[in-house]
Amino acid sequence: MPGVTDQIKEKIDIVDFISAYVPLRKTGRSYVGFCPFHPNTRTPAFHVFPDTQSFHCFGCKASGTIFDFLMRREGIEFREALERLAQRAGVQLHPRTEAEEQQDRLRTRLLEVNAAAAAFFRHMLVKSQRGEEARAYVAKRRIDDATGEAFLIGYAPDDWSLLLSYLTERRGFAPEEIEAAGLAIHHETRGYYDRFRHRLMFPIRSASGEIVAFGGRALGDVQPKYMNSPQTPLFDKGKVLYGLDLARDAIRQSDAAVIVEGYVDVIIAHQYGFRNVVAPLGTALTADHVALVKKLSHRVYLALDADTAGARATLKGLQALQSQPEGELTAVISPQGVIALQRRQDVEIRILALPEGKDPDEVIQENPEQWRAALAAARPAMDFYIETLTSDLDLSSGRGRAEAVERIAPLLTQIANPVEQAHYIQQLARLIDIEEAHILAALSNKARQEGQRRPSDQGRATKVLEQQPGDANQQPDETPPPPTQEEYLLSWIIRYPTARAAVEEKLHRDLATYPALQSLMSGTIDELFTSDECRALWRAWIAAPTGSDPQAWATTLYAPLDAVAQRVLELHAPQPQAYRIVNDALECATILQRDAAKRWLVQIARMQTAATGEAEQEILLDQLVQVKQFINMLSIPRRSSAYADLHVLHMP
């Protein structure tokens, strides 16, 4: 019986589905249109293939199935895409447990509380006499009525129980529900009272537009000046970006996201037509934030204050980042301007420097062209780092030069592209006037130090491999399907960072000498998976916090990913020596590379039958030749005792 994802794909035609988002025209056996994931208006590069129920953009290389399209287009996770498509297809997902049903009911109820509270706050700002001071503040910040309505800006009156009374007496919510939504506080003797009082209120919405929390700006001398809702079943401030629901399409269309500090910065930017602007909620930009943006664009602009206080905060933040487990850095920006790079997220980060003492909303309102110029002049993050982290050093002294290398080296080691890394090594060498060899030696020493501090991957591997597949949930007469190559590969690259690094390097190296294939294949692990579940599981692992234990992480997943993860992590492989781990992972990767290339052979042949122009035929012929060369280059992997069955089944 086909799995649930296969059932969904059988019932929903990908051409019909994508046509609701992208105008398509038929050409031969495929359909073409302008890609919705990157700016393109001249030549349609986006193809939908009904035969394989897949899509591919020859410009940005976005590709996949109907699940991948919906996740990328709407900026949602696999679970939500699965639920939406299952509902549309009329496919029944696994029976929900009572706990899941109860959680859904609570979530729905809290969303209703927040929606009612937002309406109350909006009424108090727009129509109540109590909102006069708040209206004056909004006018002072030059927020117009249409923008205020779009962002549902409101006012919480200076009263201890006015919202509580409205929600309980007029809307029928229980005080416990209002507290669970983060809008009320319970005191042992005084009972329940309103959390937000005499504050301008900014509803905080999820990427899909649901009101999950509130931010309040004090209208007097009350501290703190800004206050957010506490963490609730709906809200985790490290996973929400303010304004993303309204900015999502603009970020995708411009292929860029601009991250600023405050609510009003976002609001004014949108009011003036800069709709790709969002903000973290008074916290550092987390890996979850970056993951949200990365679904829409790989370019991120950070708007920082160009003052000495910002530079000092950066230095302080870097010290904290260097103490993180596994010796790896994460991409963060604090409200004070602390940032760093994270290789995992693969996001191009640029620093947008503002005039000293000016906030983004002030720059935009004074002269929108100045904001455009600042975006155009934004510098790569490493340029910012090298300048900022060396600004307080005496670079004419040996001590100052050594300190400069010590500060910059951890960042240089995080640059995955060797050409880019070499560029910044040269830049630093020129700045401090030393030979590049000395910097390379420092990087090598830093890498050895980090390796010594890391726990042994082999120890963790041995523990995992000792576990055998269980059958507690298996019916006595039910034979589980044999593991696939994709599941074997997942097993290695999730368990062992060394295997993952080796596979990533191999994929990049193998594709580098075939330029005609680079519009077809991205050279990433992601494209090796044909199973939607395996691909979603891999993406979930990439998004997991650095240093996560695979077994513990698997327990946080949802169906059907939890079952796939359990099956993958329980795969038994003998002789877990380090060289075998890497070699077997590379064998699996090679098999999957060959399979992916063979799929393109078929697809190119189909496209040739529909091609009319001589130039198009020439391009397709070049691609066809190189695909065949690529397959020939991927020689049959040597026999492995752990994977003997794979080679028998996949001989050419």
Tell me the C-alpha distance between 438 and 433, whole Å.
11
Averaged over 282-289, what is the pLDDT? Answer: 74
pLDDT at 573: 53
Tell me the C-alpha distance between 280 and 242, whole Å.
6
pLDDT at 310: 47
pLDDT at 318: 33
pLDDT at 305: 54
Q: Give backbone dihedrals phi and psi of 267, rounded to 5 degrees, phi first.
A: -60, -45
* Banded model confidence at residue 58, pLDDT cuts 50, 70, 90: confident
The residues that bridge with 410 in the sheet, in sequence order, are none
- pLDDT over 90 at 409, yes or no: no
Averaged over 81-90, what is the pLDDT? Answer: 88
* Banded model confidence at residue 184, pLDDT cuts 50, 70, 90: very high
- pLDDT over 80 at 290, yes or no: no
Class of domain 105-235: alpha beta
Class of domain 4-89: alpha beta
Domains of the chain, by residue range, sit at 4-89, 105-235, 244-391, 393-454, 460-469+481-649
Task: Return the SS3 of 321.
Answer: helix
Q: Which residue has the tokens 């990087």?
A: 443
Tell me the C-alpha distance between 589 and 592, whole Å.
5
pLDDT at 333: 35
Q: Give backbone dihedrals phi and psi of 63, rounded to 5 degrees, phi first.
A: -160, 170
| Cβ neighbourhood burial of 440 (10 Å; 0-12, 13-18, 19+) | middle
Q: What share of the chain is helix, strand, coil (3-state, %, to 5)?
A: 55, 10, 35
Going by C-alpha positions, the residue among 477, 641, 497, 468 that lies closest to residue 567 is 468
Least confident span in 21-30, 305-314, 499-508? 305-314
- pLDDT over 80 at 468, yes or no: no
pLDDT, tens digit, for every residue of 513-553?
888 888 888 888 988 998 888 888 898 898 887 778 888 88
| Cβ neighbourhood burial of 181 (10 Å; 0-12, 13-18, 19+) | buried
Q: In what order do the strands lie in the sheet containing 257-259? A: 277-278, 257-259, 299-304, 348-353, 379-380
pLDDT at 171: 96
Question: Which amino acid does the sequence have at 186?
Answer: H
Least confident span in 85-94, 116-125, 240-249, 422-431? 85-94
pLDDT at 343: 38
**Identical fold, 4-89 and 244-391:** no
**237 CB-side CA count, 13 A:** 16
Cis peptide leading into 560, omega within 30 of 0?
A: yes
Task: Return the SS3 of 640.
Answer: coil
Number of H helices, E strands in the chain: 28, 16
Averaged over 253-269, what is the pLDDT? Answer: 92
pLDDT at 558: 74
Tell me the C-alpha distance between 541 and 560, whole Å.
15
pLDDT, tens digit, for every residue of 608-639?
776 767 777 788 888 888 888 888 888 554 44
Quote the tokens at residue 520.
Answer: 């077809």
Q: What is the mean pLDDT of the chain?
A: 81
Q: Give backbone dihedrals phi and psi of 233, rounded to 5 degrees, phi first.
A: -60, -20
pLDDT, tens digit, for every residue of 101-157?
888 899 999 999 999 999 999 999 999 999 999 999 999 999 999 999 999 999 999
Q: Which residues does 401 contact at the CB level (< 8 Å), separation at least 6?
A: 393, 395, 432, 433, 434
Q: Which residue has the higher pLDDT, 120 or 303?
A: 120
pLDDT at 242: 96
The pTM of the full predicted model, rounded to 2 decimals, is: 0.62
Tell me the C-alpha distance between 636 and 647, whole Å.
8
Question: Which amino acid does the sequence have at 522?
Answer: S
Beta strands in 179-298 (DSSP E): 184-187, 191-194, 199-205, 211-218, 226-228, 257-259, 277-278
Tell me the C-alpha distance between 49 and 12, whole Å.
14
Q: Which residue has the higher pLDDT, 331 or 485?
A: 485
Q: Which residue has the higher pLDDT, 389 or 25?
A: 25
The sign of the CA dihedral 538, 544, 549, 552 is negative
Query: Would you identify the CATH topology of the domain 244-391?
Result: Dna Topoisomerase Vi A Subunit; Chain: A, domain 2 (3.40.1360)
Rounded to the nearest 10 degrees, the angle between the axes of helix 418-432 and helix 398-412 is: 170
Residues in the chain: 652
From residue 295, alpha-carbon distances to 70, 129, 244, 346, 650 in Å are: 11, 44, 12, 11, 34
From residue 253, alpha-carbon distances to 56, 249, 615 in Å are: 18, 6, 29
Least confident span in 49-63, 127-141, 267-281? 49-63
Q: Which residue has the tokens 């109907």?
A: 66
- pLDDT over 50 at 73, yes or no: yes
pLDDT at 636: 52
* Banded model confidence at residue 29, pLDDT cuts 50, 70, 90: confident
Averaged over 569-575, what is the pLDDT? Answer: 65
Alpha helices in 470-513 (DSSP H): 485-495, 497-512
pLDDT at 304: 60
Tell me the C-alpha distance between 540 and 535, whole Å.
9
pLDDT at 299: 86
3-state secondary structure 22-44: CCCEEECCEEEECCCCCCCCCCC
The residues that bridge with 301 in the sheet, in sequence order, are 258, 350
What whole-number percentage of the chain has pLDDT above 70? Answer: 82
Q: Give backbone dihedrals phi and psi of 351, rounded to 5 degrees, phi first.
A: -105, 125
pLDDT, tens digit, for every residue of 576-596?
455 567 787 888 888 888 888
- pLDDT over 70 at 644, yes or no: no
Averaged over 164-168, what is the pLDDT? Answer: 97
**68 CB-side CA count, 13 A:** 24
pLDDT at 521: 87
pLDDT at 257: 93
- pLDDT over 60 at 167, yes or no: yes
pLDDT, tens digit, for every residue of 305-363?
545 454 444 333 333 333 333 333 333 333 333 333 333 345 678 888 888 778 999 99
Q: Are 72 and 37 in contact (CB under 8 A)?
A: yes
What whole-number percentage of the chain has pLDDT above 90? Answer: 33
Tell me the C-alpha distance between 374 and 436, whole Å.
32
pLDDT at 360: 94
Rounded to the nearest 10 degrees, the angle between the axes of helix 485-495 and helix 497-512 is: 120
Q: Give backbone dihedrals phi and psi of 11, rounded to 5 degrees, phi first.
A: -95, -20
Tell me the C-alpha distance between 94 and 444, whole Å.
51
pLDDT, tens digit, for every residue of 221-237?
888 999 999 999 999 99
